[in-house]
Amino acid sequence: MTKYQTRKGGHVKQVIKTDSAPAAVGPYSQAIRAGDFLFVSGQLGIDPATGKLVPGGIERQTEMALKNMRAIIESAGKHIGDVVKATVFLQSIDDFAAMNEVYKRFFSEEPPARAAFEVARLPLGALVEIEAVVYLG
């Protein structure tokens, strides 16, 4: 489901929402389309069916976060291969290699630009959160 909103100055943004990914855990949208770009909010390894983090460690949470991201991007009519920039937040940088093994399965050809950081804490005690910018043009 999508909803259009007009902002001051006549600029239009499109709120992207799909039931194929978890609902936002706060006052934000799953993604916002603005001009030729889609800004996908940080995705956790939450199973959309249960609303809970998937068990199984960093690999399973990374896979679920990327599946959630893919569902949001596809609901906007694009493909995960259209991601131009991703940011990965890790609860522990020691999980970088394991996260990377899963990540490269989703971005095997022409991977996007990316940054990865260790952060003190993530929502719901998650091990990883991934956000993205998608080019729509």
Instruction: Provide DSSP, 12-66.
Output: EEEEE--TTSPPPSSSS-SEEEETTEEEEEEE-SEETTTTEEPSSHHHHHHHHHH
Average pLDDT, the chain: 93
Q: What percent of the chain has pLDDT over 90?
A: 85
Tell me the pLDDT band of 89, cut-offs 50, 70 and 90: very high
- For the stretch 10-52, pLDDT in tens is 668 999 999 999 998 889 999 999 999 999 999 999 999 999 9
User: Based on the structure, what is the number of domains in the chain?
Assistant: 1
What is the 8-class DSSP label of residue 8?
Answer: T
DSSP code of residue 85: E
| Phi, psi torsion values for 136, nearest 5 degrees | -105, -15
CB 18: neighbour CB atoms within 10 A? 19
Can you tell me the distance from the alpha carbon of 33 to that of 88, in angstroms, rounded to the nearest whole number? 20
For residue 10, give its domain range. Answer: 2-135
Contact between residue 30 and residue 18 where contact means Cβ atoms under 8 Å apart:
yes
CATH of the domain at 77: 3.30.1330.40
